[in-house]
Structure formats: C-alpha cells, structure tokens
Structure 1
Amino acid sequence: MIIVGIGGFLGALARFYLGKWLVHTYPWATFLINITGSFALGFLFALQLSDWLWHFIGIGFLGAYTTFSTFGFECLQLLEQKKWRQAIVYLFTTVLFGILFAALGFLLV
C-alpha cells in the first residue's frame, strides 16, 4: 500500500506540473495526459511487471497521473458553455485515442 501511495504522490505531481505547463491548451492538456498515460499503461501491462513495480507505476503513478474526473468535469464545462462541437470531439477523441494508445503501447512490447 505504501508503494501505491508513493507512486500516486509522484504521479499527481507529474500531472499537476504538466497540466500547469499546458494550461493554455484547455481541455487538451488533460487529453494529452490521459493519452500518454493510456499508452504507458498498455506498454507496462504487456511487460508483465512484478507485482510491486506494477503497484508502484501502473496503479500508483499512472493512476494519479491520468484523470477521468477532470476529463468528465471539462466535458461538462464545455457543454455548459454551449461549446457542443468541442465537447463532442473532446469526448470521443479521448475515449477512442485512449483505447488506441493503450493498445499501441501493448503491441509495441
């Protein structure tokens, strides 16, 4: 459990600072973070890491690095602002590319 917590702490920091750096690309900063996290999870899953390393990186770090709640909140904000097209594109590209990049990461191994 401590390993997951340490990984989560580091993943949350990585997500926070990358999000701050990409703040002008709202909501695409979250998109980039979630897609790179999906790729990394697929890649790491295919490597069949030891349990402690999977808990540290896969569950801890990447679990905190990626964020479904922010994605959902940003979709709602776009809808509230009546940016229908951007909300729909954001929704579908995030889900589609998340799956594709997880598969790509897996297949590269």
Structure 2
Amino acid sequence: MPAFALLFLAIITEVVATLSLRASDGFTKPGPAALVVVGYGLSFWLMALALKHIPVGLTYAIWSGLGTALVAIGGVVAFGETMNAMKLASLMVIVAGVAGLSAAGGAH
C-alpha cells in the first residue's frame, strides 16, 4: 500500500479514536472506550509503516495537522460544538502550514 494511503488511514483512525474518547464519557462507556484503544493503536502502527517512506517531520505535520482539523470538524458534527470564523480561519492556517511543509519537504 502506498505510504500516503497508510498515512491517510492513520489519520482517519486517530480521528475516530479521539472522537470516541469524547464519547467514552471518561472511559465509562465500554464501546467508545474500546474504539479509543484500538483506534490509537492502529493509528500509530499505520503511521509507523508510513514512516518507512515519508520523512518524520512531514509525516507528523500531516498526521497532526489534518487530524486536528478533522477532529475539530467532527466535534461540530458529532457533538454540536461551536465553529466560528476565527476557529475556521485557524484551521485553514493549520492546513495551509501542512501543505507548505509538504511542498517544501516532499517524500524521499
């Protein structure tokens, strides 16, 4: 599987795990709590596989930046959290930063 596909799957599993962490209600709900443990484990494993082919700085920037943006959007959709212009602009800056690092660094 291509390295960036592995990284994308790592991001998705991390987002699911983080949103499940919120849904686990302090680990009192077993279903979401299990998703947290499995999701984070799978995410780190997939990211480790991606790191065989993508530089660590670029990998982590993409994983954390896009993960942050997707978790923020997921919080709005799944939990009714607020999104205002400042939050949206800040997320756009994160995504722009990740795109800049990607353009500057590239995979090896």
TM-score, length of structure 2 as denominator length = 0.50
Is 1:32 aligned to residue 8 of structure 2? yes
Structure 2 unaligned regions, length at least 5: 79-108
Structure 1 stretches of 4+ with a deviation exceeding 6 A read none
- Identical aligned residues as a percent: 7
C-alpha RMSD of the superposition: 2.7
Whole-angstrom distance in 2 between the partners of 1:31 and 1:74? 6
Q: Is the 8 A contact 2:11 2:67 kept in 1?
A: yes
| Shift in Å, 1:45 | 3.2
Structure 1 unaligned regions, length at least 5: 1-22, 79-85
Residue aligning to 2:20: 44
Equivalent residue in structure 2 for 1:56, among 26, 31, 34: 34
Whole-angstrom distance in 1 between the partners of 2:46 and 2:12? 15
What amino acid is the match of 1:52?
Answer: P
| Matched residues, number | 75
| Shift in Å, 1:96 | 0.9
1 or 2 for the larger relative contact order (CA 8 Å, sep ≥6)? 1
TM-score, length of structure 1 as denominator length = 0.50
Say which structure is richer in helix. 1
